[in-house]
Amino acid sequence: MSESAGENAGADIGPDEAARDLLIEVVDTPSVTGEEAEAAQVLVEFFEAHDREVWIDEVGNVRAPADDSVLLTSHIDTVPGDIPVRVERVPPEEARFGGGETADSEDGEEQLWGRGSVDAKGPLCSMAVAAVRTGVSFVGVVGEEVDSRGARYLVENRDEVPGAVVNGEPSGWDGITLGYRGLLAGTYVATSESGHSSRPENNAIQDAIDWWSRVEDEFAHDEWVPVFERVTCKPISFEGGASDDGLSVEATVDVQLRVPPEYTTEEVRELADGHLTNGTVHWHDAVEPVMQNPRTAVARAFRAAVRQTGGDPRLLRKTGTSDMNIYAQEWDCPMVTYGPGDSDLDHAPDEHVSLAEYDRAVAALEAATDQLLD
């Protein structure tokens, strides 16, 4: 495992037709959040065909328990968006992955287009294939794109903590994600007496604007501070104006704050609440940030597996939030997030994944899992 990426660049990773067939079928089965049942059944049939115990639990997760030394898990649901499912071959100069290292590079690259091909059916199917081939546990969860209800149900109802967790999200086949920021979401509401617009005192709309400006100033950073290390503040929606009876002015603002590992969501909440002069905030969602040590057994196994399959591993920190945050908050075990695909294509109208990259991710997942089982 000590060879450099350059020495391993010729690793022979050819087309994995069985793994590709599963991915194409799952991508071709729509599974917008709340409508995952049909795609879940495709996964059930895949595990049954390989003589694995499998069932769908009360919230719709696909559960395939086995060797719990490793749990491979990713989400079944996607955001809305109709992208015709197709496999296209593009010339080498248009390839997104691998250049001369891909098995089919002389003839170009095959790309699978379709909603979810990147986020996160590529990671999901690569994990299902690796789970069957290595004999470890697998869960396909629902609801990640909205409220992570599948992951929340899993941590509440699973009897034992797994030995290690690999969460599936696109990182690029040579990328290993160790950290995600957390999330604090709330709704600010203020009311003031109605009056002529010439009056100098603030109305509720001005109170809302002033509060949010003070919150943004509280968490302002110099530009040189990496985004991952910042609290970033984002208003999601704003409504304001006279009440229906005309006797008051009302303002409602939905807000989200992304929380780096330097803070807890409670610390950020207290700082934001400290700037209230009028109105209240109902904080309705709090997900803690996560940052894993790069020296854990699972992180080391993935670095070695990426090198073994021809790559130079990249350690990543993501500025968003994933189900890994949920697992890290409840389970005291090492974990990473991993999966094929360019995360810049998440939710995009041109979402597609290189099938050669997907093949290589399957191989890396198998290699890393085998190492963790030794």
Active-site residues, by number, are 77, 144
Beta carbons within 8 Å of 183's beta carbon, 6+ residues apart: 256, 257, 258, 259, 265, 285, 286, 287, 321, 325
For residues 166 and 328, the answer to whether their CB atoms sit within 8 Å is no
For residues 295 and 331, the answer to whether their CB atoms sit within 8 Å is no
For residues 180 and 325, the answer to whether their CB atoms sit within 8 Å is yes
**Residue 294: C-alpha distances to residues 78, 171, 261 (Å):** 29, 15, 15
- Per the rule left: phi > 0, alpha: psi between -120 and 50, beta: everything else, 111 is beta
CA-based nearest residue to 134, from 75, 66, 76, 74? 66
Radius of gyration of the chain (CA): 23
